[in-house]
Amino acid sequence: MNIAPIELAGAAVILLLGSAVLAMFLSRFQHLLVAVSFSLASVASLVALVAGAWTVSSNIANQAVMAIGLPDLPFHLRLDPLAGFFLTIVGGLSFFVSIYSLGYVKGIIAQRPVTRLVVFYALFLAGMFMVILADDALFFLVAWEVMAAASYFLVLFEDEHLENRRAAFLYMVVAHVGAIAILLSFGVMAGLVTGFEGFHGYTFDAMRQAEYTPAWATAAFLLSFFGFAAKAGVIPLHVWLPEAHPVAPSNVSALMSGVMLKTAIYGIVRVTFDLIHVFPWWWGALVLMLGLISAVLGVLFALMQNDLKRLLAYSSVENIGIVLIGIGLAMIFTSFQLPLLAALALTAGLYHALNHAMFKGLLFMGAGGVLHAAHERNMEKMGGLIHMLPWTSGLFLVGCVSISGLPPFNGFVSEWLTFQAFLLSPSLPSPLMKLLIPMGAALLALTAALSAACFVKAFGVTFLGQWRGQHAPQIHEVNWPMKLGMIMAAVCCLFLGILPTLVIDWMDSVPEHLVGSKISTTAGAFGWMWLTPVARERASYSGPMVFFVILAVIVIAYLILHVKKGSIKRVPLWDCGFEKVTQRMQYTSTSFAMPLRRIFGFFFSIRERVKLDPQAAHRAFPGKMHYALRIRDRFWGWIYKPLVDASFLMSRLVGKLQQGRIQTYLIYSFVTIIFLLMVTR
């Protein structure tokens, strides 16, 4: 049997498109619809996963040309290790999420018809697969638009809330501004291939072989980086992300945060390392700087959120920042001809992209479980869910530990690799860069520490303590498909953390293709247990050892202490001699973040209002107290508000042309025709 990976990937796309069509016929049988189409989606994702993983491990590149599309401009497809790697990420998480959706969407049926969700879900997945498979500008942009439009409708799924419609609109606007920039960037590159004559420069192959003058290359890079950064939610282009991701159904949020952002990362890597491939160091410095800013500010914004899903969305901004740090470092190393270090930094960045897909997918699925069970997104009203949702809480904890960068889980490995890449920057020739780049490592350390604080808050406030709301609702554990989806993602988190050497060995063909060097020869030099990215003397880490030694000590301590059966007495909460401790006295999300809010307050625009009840007998004994806190992103006021105001002003001015009289419009047409005739005479 001779099947190329690209055929498998194509089959996955066709399967998804087919399931979208099928869904329209099944819309009268909602339960059947959910079962059939999400099963199909998970099969398709699995197929894509296999195709991607196979391509990466066998280090091959398949190409195909499809005779559809515009006349004379057929669609080109290509599956090389880079595409394969991202196909693995997208396929992997989509597989888990599709299984999860089998259970999750069933819960929505009772409230509203889900046909729309099912159809656009399939289209969304197909769009992402096609973006990764595309090998020409035309197909890429078509796929990109399919992905954007499908996700727009998914964000709009619960469209009765004004908030959701506004979020979807904002998302649409930013996505399209970004898409225009990408289009222009491809236009510049395709035009330069042919000297702006003819269209055959639109394939990526032609762009790859062309040589660009530095000025045009820079223009193309800046345009495409702007476009992809808008999609990835890089600060300051992030404002849509925390609006749109939380309002989508949770399975879709998992996909949007977990993998849709990765397609933008894919675009950045594809354009810089593959299509342009010769670039000055300052491109890398730009990417690195924006990565650092996104990482630090993203996690600080996340810390201030009270809405669980918004918190997760902001944390995606942070993690995209960390991925970009790796990619930026790789770009700097590449431009100074240090391929081995570039390979290390690129591996770190891509590894983090993979890790982020897993743990952010897991966390959004967990948040979906909470939402499904407690019908609540505001952490200030939750608490104590660990007793009612033992599975969800345990799996959510795995995600929290992973995202906080704690060993032996996966987030730590990629951050550790990034730190190693930072510490190798003294081999750069420029003295100033030697000095400045290690400073970035401090910011990464700050990010890691703050994200631990952020996820202690997220987990602690949501799952620990006691229910903070007025009436504790009846909450049941989530159903099996949901559990299964989360369990698989959690197992992946552990696997990627404990066995990084195997994963790096597998994904090494990607840096080999892009920067011409690989690290697995040194990284795995001492067997699968030891990760030694550069040399054994330089640094080493052994996930399995850390994991098993901690486990062994815990087991031994537990056994020794339980030989003599000491009794455990359950008693009511100690109230410090104070009567009537209520659950309203617990630390809330706002109070947890208060010290950090005060320390890093200058990054936000904070309005805090405390009003005491005027009817109290004395100021010292207020009867009631009103507390209002509003925290806003400063970027909104700095960048977006002026833009919005300017566009309103423009439309009002242009609006004056609208007279409402038919004659006036005829005059406009007439004048236009006359003008055109004069110009094109």
Partner 1 sequence: MNLYPFAAEMLQILIILAIAPAFVGWVRMLKCWLQGRTTAGLFQPYRDLMKLFAKDVILAENASWIFRFTPYIVFGTATLAGGIIPMLSVDLPLAASADAIVLVALFAIARFFTSLAGMDIGTAFGGMGSSREMTIASLAEPAMLMAIFTVSLAAGSTSLSQIVQVVFSGQSVLRPSLAFAFLAFVLVSLAETGRIPVDNPTTHLELTMIHEAMLLEYSGRHLALFEWAGMMKLTLFMALGAVLFFPWGIGTGSIIASGLAFVFLLLKLAAAGIVLVLIETGLAKMRLFRLTEFLGSAFLMATLGMLSFFILE
Partner 2 sequence: MNLHIAAQINSFLAALVLLTAFGMLVQKRVYGLIHLFAWQGFFLSLNTAIVGFVADRHHLYISSVLTLSLKVFLLPYILHVLIHRLKIRKEVETIVNIPTTMMIGIALVIFSYHLTAPVRELSNLVTRSTIAVALATVMLGLLMMITRKHAVTQIIGFLALENGLFFAATSATYGMPLVVELGVALDVLIAAFIFGIFFFHINRTFDSLDVEQMARLKEGD
Q: Which does 407 bind (CB under 5 to 8 A by kind): partner 2, partner 1, none?
A: partner 1
Our finding on whether 434 is near partner 1 (CB under 8 A) is yes
Our finding on whether 541 is near partner 1 (CB under 8 A) is yes
Our finding on whether 629 is near partner 1 (CB under 8 A) is no
Question: Please, which residue, 598 or 619, has the CB nearer to partner 1?
Answer: 598
The residues of the shown chain that bind partner 2, judged by CB under 8 A, are 431-432, 435-436
* Alpha helices, H only, 26-114: 30-58, 81-109
Which of 545, 610, 643, 671 is in the footprint of partner 1 by CB under 8 A?
545
Question: Please, which residue, 67 or 432, has the CB nearer to partner 2?
Answer: 432
Number of residues that bind partner 1 (CB under 8 A): 82
Structure tokens at 576: 């410090």
Our finding on whether 625 is near partner 1 (CB under 8 A) is no
Structure tokens at 102: 């089998």
Burial (CB count within 10 angstroms: exposed 0-12, middle 13-18, buried 19+), residue 22? middle
Question: Please, which residue, 18 or 544, has the CB nearer to partner 1?
Answer: 544
CA distance readout (Å), 678 to 138, 360, 672, 674: 34, 59, 10, 6
Closest approach of partner 2 to the CB of residue 292, in Å: 14
Task: State the pairing for strand pair 62-70/604-612.
Answer: unpaired
Enter the DSSP assignment of 198: S
Our finding on whether 643 is near partner 1 (CB under 8 A) is no
Which of 553, 667, 674, 676 is in the footprint of partner 1 by CB under 8 A?
553
Contact indicator for 667, 674 with CB cutoff of 8 Å: no
Structure tokens at 424: 């190798």
Question: Please, which residue, 565 or 661, has the CB nearer to partner 1?
Answer: 565
Q: Looking only at residues 382 through 411 of this chain, which bind partner 1 when binding is defined by CB under 8 A?
A: 383-384, 386-387, 397, 401, 404-407
Task: State the pairing for strand pair 73-79/62-70.
Answer: antiparallel
Closest approach of partner 1 to the CB of residue 414, in Å: 12
Question: Please, which residue, 432 or 662, has the CB nearer to partner 2?
Answer: 432
Which of 67, 474, 558, 618 is in the footprint of partner 1 by CB under 8 A?
558
Question: Please, which residue, 191 or 438, has the CB nearer to partner 2?
Answer: 438
Q: Looking only at residues 456 through 485 of this chain, which bind partner 1 when binding is defined by CB under 8 A?
A: 456-457, 459-461, 464-466
Q: Considering only 46-54, 316-324, 342-350, 449-457, which stretch makes contact with partner 1 by CB under 8 A?
A: 449-457
Contact indicator for 337, 515 with CB cutoff of 8 Å: no
Structure tokens at 460: 């602690």
For 79, what's the count of Cα atoms within 13 Å in the CB-facing half-sphere? 27
Closest approach of partner 2 to the CB of residue 285, in Å: 15
Structure tokens at 432: 């100033």
Helix (H) or strand (E) holding 75: strand 73-79
Closest approach of partner 1 to the CB of residue 112, in Å: 35
Contact indicator for 96, 488 with CB cutoff of 8 Å: yes
- Alpha carbon distance 21, 242 (integer Å): 31
Q: Which does 568 bind (CB under 5 to 8 A by kind): partner 2, partner 1, none?
A: partner 1
Closest approach of partner 2 to the CB of residue 602, in Å: 9
Contact indicator for 368, 247 with CB cutoff of 8 Å: no
Go through 608-619 and write b for each residue having 16 or more CB atoms within 10 A of its CB, e for each that does not: eeeeeeeeeeee
Q: Considering only 59-67, 239-247, 531-539, 663-671, which stretch makes contact with partner 1 by CB under 8 A?
A: 531-539
Question: Please, which residue, 436 or 491, has the CB nearer to partner 2?
Answer: 436
Residue listed under structure tokens 């992973």: 402
Please name the amino acid found at residue 596: L
Q: Looking only at residues 581 through 610 of this chain, which bind partner 1 when binding is defined by CB under 8 A?
A: 581, 583, 585-587, 591-596, 598-599
Contact indicator for 643, 247 with CB cutoff of 8 Å: no
Question: Please, which residue, 355 or 542, has the CB nearer to partner 1?
Answer: 542
Instruction: Single out the residue of 295, 359, 284, 290 nearest to residue 322, CA to CA.
Output: 295
Q: Considering only 40-48, 103-111, 371-379, 454-462, which stretch makes contact with partner 1 by CB under 8 A?
A: 454-462
The three-state secondary structure class of 562 is: coil
Closest approach of partner 2 to the CB of residue 437, in Å: 11
Instruction: Single out the residue of 163, 466, 166, 459 nearest to residue 311, CA to CA.
Output: 459
Rama region for 585: left / alpha / beta (φ>0; ψ in -120 to 50; rest): alpha
Question: Please, which residue, 55 or 420, has the CB nearer to partner 1?
Answer: 420
Q: Which does 587 bind (CB under 5 to 8 A by kind): partner 2, partner 1, none?
A: partner 1
Our finding on whether 540 is near partner 1 (CB under 8 A) is yes
Question: Please, which residue, 210 or 443, has the CB nearer to partner 2?
Answer: 443
Which of 64, 177, 184, 539 is in the footprint of partner 1 by CB under 8 A?
539
Other residues' Cβ atoms within 10 Å of the Cβ of residue 627: 9
Closest approach of partner 1 to the CB of residue 332, in Å: 17
DSSP letter string over 476-508?
A: ----HHHHHHHHHHHHHHHHHHH-HHHHHHHHT
Q: Considering only 162-170, 236-244, 574-582, 627-635, which stretch makes contact with partner 1 by CB under 8 A?
A: 574-582
Structure tokens at 541: 């880490």
CA distance readout (Å), 57 to 494, 529, 533: 21, 20, 19
Q: Considering only 49-57, 213-221, 322-330, 429-437, which stretch makes contact with partner 1 by CB under 8 A?
A: 429-437
Q: Which does 649 bind (CB under 5 to 8 A by kind): partner 2, partner 1, none?
A: none
Closest approach of partner 2 to the CB of residue 293, in Å: 15
Our finding on whether 453 is near partner 1 (CB under 8 A) is yes
